[in-house]
């Protein structure tokens, strides 16, 4: 590790991020992200998709800074809801529900929230340093990548994403294929031929991923929520008396926080894995390591500290492949990358050298965003809880207004709105048929890149498909992919996976 | 209802087969090329075939092993929400940002299962429109006419 380079880099980053303007955008992002993340049933993907339009008209740096503020804001908001109301805002905070809500019921909501904040902050700090340290060498390595390496890497990412997604693996893989096909819509770069455009002029530019995301995650989610009769929420309205954890709490928590951070960072950096799987594995690990396993599920603070740290570390780690390779590791990261392309920046290893202000500014602002979260959230917990009392009948029209204006403002075109409705209906169909849409959105973004690299690799090798296994790095990615698949098909793991991803905390 | 009609996996399989077949069918017009010089039809053709295979597998599994029930559909919210967005798309060029937003808010609010509270909806619509005009027109600066005359 080259520490001598770290400080000038971080200095550059902080000088960008600490400008009043960027601080403001970071702040707005964190507040908005938390506010929407707190709402149950709206995960990071939907939140980012919804708030994306606000950033379209900003310059690249503030736009990305605000988006990442939104990203960890909603991660943290999800935990708050999980602890107080036992309604996880997103799948990664399902585990936090288990012990966090038990603590809240015992009148210890304050310490639970505080330890979640402390754990997230620690994980965020480590995550920032990790990105700053690992980013440059990985990007340097990636500059050596040819078409074959990129193709194999994307195969690995997509397979990993479908393995670790909720629900059936074969359905997720089929969703990846469908996403790749949707990604084809538009003009073929090699031949100039319009493909799958149905003769509609607007479709020759392809379908914007944000339109797809808002349809699949925004509209579909609202329809799903309107299925029932409103749904009553079991709110826990106790005064938060003791906000601060005791010495005993801290003593019990610091080791889980450190372990959770390590595990989380590892899962996060792996393309395709993410916060959910990190949080679940950490919980399982802490349950094995603790001296008092009988308390798990009944309000053990370790069961909040570990997964919350893991969750946040993974959220940070996910930036590593996204920023250094230009390969998003998750649906959420695919949205971030899409935002980058909208800003006219081609994602990939060259971003770091060509736009060091952007790269290091973003990293510095992640750290600042994390600090803001801690400062902001503990005193504002009361406000977030109030937000939960806003009835859904007012909430969803407001969300629809945001999304509709956002989509329309992309190209001032009603075709984008029709597409949003279409993908809303499609998304609802997916939900009903238990097909997880997150791998699909990842594939939509990767599709054109994948085809391009596949074509180029085979052109260079004169049509010889062995090029993917004769180049060592490419072979490495493919071996990892095969190992993933084989491991997941083992009966013992299949059972474990079902248990881990079942996500039933009740 | 028979079991098959409510079988999640079976219908998911059918859906994938339809999408896969559509991809294969539509890419028949695009030149295939060879593996070395791939035409625009190559990638979608094979993706479609792969997807049909997955669809057969998933649907077959559903038939053999059974799967979760699909549950009731919420067609009303889906249709009403879509109508709201469509009316916005139709109206914004014709009568401006504010009235089309009102249409969007009122129509989408009707899609819930609860009884509509008109007074609340009115106040809510005023607040929301004011907020949207402030944020999108003045702060972000989107170039839309507010009304048909302004």
Domain boundaries, chain B: 4-65, 75-139
Q: Which residue from B19, B88, B136 is facing A417, i.e. has the nearest CB?
A: B88
B128:A228 CB<8 A: no
Q: What ipTM did this prediction achieve? A: 0.91
**pLDDT for A483 beyond 90:** no
What's the confidence (pLDDT) of residue B101?
92
| A485-496 pLDDT per residue, tens | 887 777 666 666
Mean pLDDT of B32-43: 79
What's the confidence (pLDDT) of residue B90?
92
Angstroms from A358 CA to nearest CA on chain B: 22
Q: Which residue from A178, A188, A394 is facing B19, i.e. has the nearest CB?
A: A178
A405:B142 CB<8 A: yes
Long-range contacts of B121-129 (CB under 8 A, 24+ apart): B124/A394, B124/A397, B128/A397, B128/A398, B128/A401, B128/B101, B129/B98, B129/B101, B129/B102, B129/B105
Sign of CA dihedral A289, A329, A70, B84: negative
What is the distance between the alpha carbons of residues A300 and A286, in angstroms, rounded to a whole number? 10
What's the confidence (pLDDT) of residue A506?
29
Share of chain B residues as helix, strand and coil, in percent rounded to the nearest 5: 70, 5, 25
A393:B12 CB<8 A: no
Q: Which residue has the higher pLDDT, A488 or A430?
A: A430
Q: Mean pLDDT in chain A?
A: 79
What's the confidence (pLDDT) of residue B1?
43
Q: Which residue from B27, B51, B112 is facing A226, i.e. has the nearest CB?
A: B112
Nearest to A487 by CA among A164, A263, A152: A164
What's the CA dihedral at A172, A176, A178, A182 to 10 degrees?
140
Mean pLDDT of B7-22: 92
Confidence category of residue A89, pLDDT binned at 50, 70, 90: low
**pLDDT for A129 beyond 70:** yes
Q: CB-based burial of residue A201 (10 Å sphere; 0-12 exposed, 13-18 middle, 19+ buried)?
A: exposed
Confidence category of residue A328, pLDDT binned at 50, 70, 90: confident
Q: Is B145 on the interface with A (CB under 8 A)?
A: no
Mean pLDDT of A58-87: 80
Structure tokens at A89: 């805002």
Q: How far is CA B71 from CA B6, B10, B82, in A?
A: 7, 14, 22
| A212-227 pLDDT per residue, tens | 888 887 888 788 878 7
Angstroms from A244 CA to nearest CA on chain B: 37
Which of A75-84, A365-374, A433-442 bottoms out in mean pLDDT, i.e. has the lowest?
A: A75-84
Angstroms from B81 CA to nearest CA on chain A: 8
Question: A396 contacts in B (CB within 8 Å)?
Answer: 108, 112
**Interface A:B, Cβ pairs < 8 A:** 174
pLDDT above 90 coverage of chain A, percent: 4
What's the confidence (pLDDT) of residue A249?
78
What is the distance between the alpha carbons of residues B150 and B146, in angstroms, rounded to a whole number? 6
Q: Which of B29, B34, B51 to mutate to test the interface with A (most CBs of A within 10 A)?
A: B51
CB A121 within 8 A of CB A374: yes
What is the distance between the alpha carbons of residues A210 and A402, in angstroms, rounded to a whole number? 13
B73-87 b/e (C-beta count within 10 Å ≥ 16 → b): ebeebbebbbbbbbb
Q: Mean pLDDT in chain B?
A: 86
Q: Which residue from A171, A190, A428 is facing B40, i.e. has the nearest CB?
A: A190
Mean pLDDT of A469-474: 85
Mean pLDDT of A131-155: 82
Confidence category of residue A424, pLDDT binned at 50, 70, 90: very high
Q: Which residue from A177, A219, A435 is facing B12, i.e. has the nearest CB?
A: A435
Mean pLDDT of B106-113: 85
């Amino acid at each position: 590790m080259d520490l001598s380079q770290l400080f000038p880099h971080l200095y550059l980053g902080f000088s960008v991020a600490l400008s009043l303007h960027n601080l403001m955008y970071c702040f707005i992002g964190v507040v908005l992200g938390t506010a929407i993340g707190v709402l149950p049933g709206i995960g990071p993907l939907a939140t980012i998709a919804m708030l994306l339009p606000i950033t379209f008209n900003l310059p690249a740096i503030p736009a990305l800074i605000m988006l990442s503020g939104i990203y960890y804001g909603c991660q943290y908001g999800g935990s708050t809801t999980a602890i107080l109301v036992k309604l996880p805002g997103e799948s990664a905070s399902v585990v936090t529900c288990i012990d966090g809500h038990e603590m809240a019921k015992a009148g210890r909501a304050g310490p639970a929230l505080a330890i979640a904040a402390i754990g997230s902050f620690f994980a965020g700090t480590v995550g920032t340093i990790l990105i700053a340290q690992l980013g440059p060498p990985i990007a340097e390595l990636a500059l050596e990548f040819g078409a074959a390496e990129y193709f194999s890497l994307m195969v690995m990412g997509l397979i990993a994403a479908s393995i670790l997604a909720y629900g059936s693996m074969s359905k997720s893989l089929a969703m990846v294929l469908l996403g790749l096909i949707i990604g084809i819509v538009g003009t073929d770069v090699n031949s100039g031929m319009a493909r799958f455009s149905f003769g509609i002029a607007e479709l020759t530019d392809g379908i914007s991923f944000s339109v797809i995301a808002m349809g699949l995650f925004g509209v579909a989610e609202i329809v799903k929520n309107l299925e029932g009769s409103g749904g009553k929420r079991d709110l826990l309205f106790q005064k938060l008396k003791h906000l601060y954890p005791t010495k005993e709490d801290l003593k019990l928590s610091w080791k889980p926080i450190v372990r959770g951070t390590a595990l989380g960072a590892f899962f996060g950096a792996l393309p395709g894995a993410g916060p959910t799987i990190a949080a679940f594995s950490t919980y399982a690990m802490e349950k094995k390591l603790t001296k008092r396993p009988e308390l798990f599920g009944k309000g053990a603070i370790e069961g909040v500290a570990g997964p919350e740290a893991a969750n946040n570390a993974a959220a940070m780690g996910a930036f590593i492949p996204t920023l250094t390779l230009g390969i998003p590791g998750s649906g959420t990261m695919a949205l971030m990358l899409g935002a980058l392309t909208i800003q006219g920046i081609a994602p990939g290893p060259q971003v770091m050298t060509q736009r060091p202000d952007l790269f290091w500014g973003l990293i510095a602002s992640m750290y600042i965003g994390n600090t803001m979260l801690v400062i902001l959230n503990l005193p504002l917990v009361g406000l977030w809880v109030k937000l939960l009392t806003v009835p859904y009948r007012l909430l969803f029209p407001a969300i629809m207004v945001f999304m509709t204006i956002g989509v329309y403002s992309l190209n001032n075109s009603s075709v984008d709105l029709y597409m949003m409705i279409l993908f809303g209906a499609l998304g609802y169909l997916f939900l009903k048929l238990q097909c997880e849409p997150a791998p699909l959105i990842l594939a939509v973004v990767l599709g054109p890149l994948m085809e391009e690299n596949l074509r180029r690799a085979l052109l260079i090798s004169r049509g010889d498909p062995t090029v993917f296994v004769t180049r060592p790095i490419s072979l490495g990615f493919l071996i990892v992919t095969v190992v993933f698949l084989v491991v997941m098909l083992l009966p013992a793991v299949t059972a474990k996976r079902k248990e881990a991803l079942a996500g039933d905390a009740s | 209802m028979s079991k098959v009609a409510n079988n999640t996996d079976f219908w998911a399989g059918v859906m994938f087969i339809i999408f896969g077949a559509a991809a294969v069918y539509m890419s028949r017009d695009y030149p295939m090329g060879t593996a070395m010089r791939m035409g625009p039809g190559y990638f979608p053709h094979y993706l479609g075939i792969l997807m049909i295979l997955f669809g057969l597998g998933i649907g077959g599994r559903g038939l053999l092993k059974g799967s979760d029930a699909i549950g009731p559909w919420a067609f009303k919210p889906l249709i009403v929400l879509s109508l709201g967005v469509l009316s916005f798309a139709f109206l914004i060029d014709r009568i401006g940002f504010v009235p089309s937003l009102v249409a969007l808010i009122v129509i989408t609010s009707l899609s819930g299962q609860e009884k509509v509270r008109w007074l609340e909806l009115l106040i809510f619509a005023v607040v929301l429109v004011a907020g949207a005009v402030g944020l999108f027109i003045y702060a972000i600066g989107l170039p839309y006419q507010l009304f048909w005359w302004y």
